[in-house]
Amino acid sequence: MAYELYYWDGIQGRGEFVRLALEDAGVPYVDIARGAKKDGQGTSAMLKIINSKIEPHIPFAPPFLKDGELIVSHVANILQYLGPKLGLAPKDDGLRYVAHGLQLTITDMVAEVHDTHHPIATSLYYEDQKDAAKARSKDFIENRVPKFIGYFERVLKQNPHGDTQIIGDAITYVDLSIFQVVEGLHYAFPRAMKKFSKQYPRVAALHDAVIERPAIAAYVDSDRRLPFNESGIFRHYPELDQDA
Amino acid sequence: MAYELYYWDGIQGRGEFVRLALEDAGVPYVDIARGAKKDGQGTSAMLKIINSKIEPHIPFAPPFLKDGELIVSHVANILQYLGPKLGLAPKDDGLRYVAHGLQLTITDMVAEVHDTHHPIATSLYYEDQKDAAKARSKDFIENRVPKFIGYFERVLKQNPHGDTQIIGDAITYVDLSIFQVVEGLHYAFPRAMKKFSKQYPRVAALHDAVIERPAIAAYVDSDRRLPFNESGIFRHYPELDQDA
């Protein structure tokens, strides 16, 4: 049975990190919320699981993955579950924990990206928290991007197997996620990203290598890849951007 | 060799979720940053790993665990690594992913607790972001606590093995973490928590059951358990608290 991915329709969002791994591996999956109601799919099929009053393993929020009866929630958890099956995880058990630790650092960074435009409350409109968003974005660009991306640059540099992948001797799901973060930052903060490839040459090179992988290149060109927009995690509000 | 836990001295913070599991299981561990410099411990020993220019698996931030040569970072990752070894994880492989998903929801909630007092920037003082902190705390108490804790209440209710543990038929590290979250909320937001045991009876009962576990009771009474304070994640600022 094909994997079932459950995530909001209309945005890349957090679901995209899972899609990139599935697409890179070329395995079949069903993007449930984007399917038709007549096929038992669509957003209502996703909400039915989240709101179930009998399912023991209800997820807190999308994305989640169904593999048969098993429901796995949270991006990093889904990726550690899929990684070995997709040939996108280190072979060594210990290294798998290290890969997962890297992915959880990406999770933290993505949450901070979200909070650049929603620093006060997810329940409020961006327009109602714009001043706080400007202050938080300034700190994000000046302090947090260097801290997170500088960290990934160091991990690449210190990889004994070479700086063309973040862990071990082959591309893993973590590299695909770093690609997505860099894509998103370019979309949301083009001014801040102008000198990115000089500041973080290894991370930039990794991004460029991932987009040249045939399955990723084909996916990014397909209509399965939705464009970034102002409903997702990475949003382009020019007033939040500044030179880095 | 004893497990080595690396986390900031002086606060419970995120390290406490790991300590509770180690203490409950009664296994030896060394709390490195709280040790003496003359024994090769202390905060400097922790920073030496984080700032290493040769270590391939540098963590982004504390807490991290060293088990021999392996470095495992991020609370939820450490707990999924330790869980089976400590007898605090489900036996079934699939359920372990579900447990980890629950733990990652706790991770998200803890990050939101942190942001109630630091909504704009970790690099700024609380006093310099107090207005935003008030707005964020209001939303946290009114919307986020009910969403997160209401979710855990539902998961307990829907556990086919009974509502005295969050997953499967025995206490796991996830239950210990829920205990810690409830403890922290009581400390930080006593007004908001006044009706807690009526609003969320199963979560409240789980908290009370965990603190009666002999090893946890002994730990909480020991001087290894630092008190909550205003340098940690859960901080008591009366001006951020309100009735729920």
Q: What is the pLDDT of residue A1?
A: 79
Q: Which residues neighbour B198 within 8 Å (Cβ) at sequence distance 6 or greater?
A: none
Same domain, A124 and A209: yes
Same domain, B13 and B123: no
Dist. CA A88–CA A75, nearest whole Å: 15
Q: How far is A195 from chain B (nearest CA, A)?
A: 23
The share of chain B scoring above pLDDT 70, in percent, equals 100
Same domain, B102 and B204: yes
CB within 8 Å of chain B, chain A residues 193-212: none
Strands (E), chain B: 3-6, 29-31, 64-67, 70-73
Q: How far is A218 from chain B (nearest CA, A)?
A: 31
Domain extent at residue A192: 93-213
Long-range contacts of A190-195 (CB under 8 A, 24+ apart): A190/A236, A190/A241, A191/A241, A191/A242, A191/A243, A191/A244, A192/A141, A192/A145, A192/A241, A192/A242, A192/A243, A192/A244, A193/A244, A194/A243, A194/A244, A195/A244
**Residue from B60, B79, B102 to probe the interface with A (highest A Cβ count within 10 Å):** B60
Query: Would you say the C-alpha torsion B184, B189, B191, B192 has a positive or negative sign?
Result: negative
Nearest to B158 among A54, A111, A124 (CB): A54
Q: Which amino acid is at A173?
A: Y
Q: How far is A35 from chain B (nearest CA, A)?
A: 25
Chain A residues whose CB is inside 8 A of the B134 CB are none
Same domain, B52 and B80: yes
Q: Which amino acid is at A182?
A: V
Dist. CA A16–CA A226, nearest whole Å: 9
Same domain, A209 and A134: yes
Q: What is the pLDDT of residue A196?
A: 98
CB within 8 Å of chain B, chain A residues 154-193: 154-155, 158-160
B153 shares contact with chain A (CB less than 8 Å)? no
| pLDDT, tens only, A122-156 | 999 999 999 999 999 999 999 999 999 999 999 99
Q: What is the pLDDT of residue A58?
A: 98
Q: Residue A73: beta bridge partners?
A: A64
Contact B70, B8 (CB under 8 A): no
Q: Which residues neighbour A240 within 8 Å (Cβ) at sequence distance 6 or greater?
A: A116, A117, A133, A134, A137, A188, A189
Q: What is the pLDDT of residue A116?
A: 98
> How many other CB atoms are found less than 10 A from the CB of residue A28?
8
- Does a structural domain hold residue A228? no
Same domain, A57 and A109: no
Burial class (CB in 10 A: 0-12, 13-18, 19+), A241: middle
Dist. CA B178–CA B167, nearest whole Å: 12
> How many other CB atoms are found less than 10 A from the CB of residue B204?
17
Q: What is the pLDDT of residue A143?
A: 98
Q: What is the pLDDT of residue B1?
A: 79
Q: What is the pLDDT of residue B213?
A: 98
| Mean pLDDT, residues B78-100 taken together | 98
Q: What is the pLDDT of residue A195?
A: 98
Number of inter-chain CB pairs under 8 A, A vs B? 127
Whichever domain contains A180, its CATH number is 1.20.1050.10
Tell me how far the alpha carbon of residue B143 is from its chain's centroid: 21
Same domain, B45 and B120: no
Q: How far is B173 from chain A (nearest CA, A)?
A: 16
Closest-CA residue of A relative to B94 is A70
Q: Given an 8 Å threshold on Cβ–Cβ distance, is B97 in contact with A77?
A: yes
CB within 8 Å of chain A, chain B residues 9-68: 52-60, 64
B217 shares contact with chain A (CB less than 8 Å)? no
Report in angstroms the alpha-carbon separations of A138 from A17, A109, A112, A118, A134.
26, 15, 12, 13, 6
Same domain, A176 and A69: no
| Mean pLDDT, residues A106-121 taken together | 98
Q: Tell me, yes or no, if the pTM score tops 0.95.
A: yes
Q: How far is A103 from chain B (nearest CA, A)?
A: 10
- Does a structural domain hold residue A244? no
Please say which residue of A86, A115, A148 terminates a domain.
Answer: A86
Burial class (CB in 10 A: 0-12, 13-18, 19+), A148: buried
Q: A201-211 and A145-157 helices cross at what angle (nearest 10)?
A: 80
Same domain, A31 and A98: no
> How many other CB atoms are found less than 10 A from the CB of residue A206?
25
> Residue B231 carries which DSSP code?
T
Same domain, B149 and B50: no
A76 shares contact with chain B (CB less than 8 Å)? yes
Chain A residues whose CB is inside 8 A of the B100 CB are 74, 77
Q: Given an 8 Å threshold on Cβ–Cβ distance, is A136 in contact with B121?
A: yes
The share of chain B scoring above pLDDT 90, in percent, equals 100
Mean pLDDT rounded to a whole number for chain B: 98
- Does a structural domain hold residue A218? no
Same domain, A145 and A99: yes
Please say which residue of A86, A101, A130 terminates a domain.
Answer: A86
Q: Which residues neighbour B163 within 8 Å (Cβ) at sequence distance 6 or greater?
A: B156, B157, B202, B205
B125 shares contact with chain A (CB less than 8 Å)? no
Whichever domain contains A30, its CATH number is 3.40.30.10
Report in angstroms the alpha-carbon separations of B215 from B15, B79, B208.
18, 18, 14
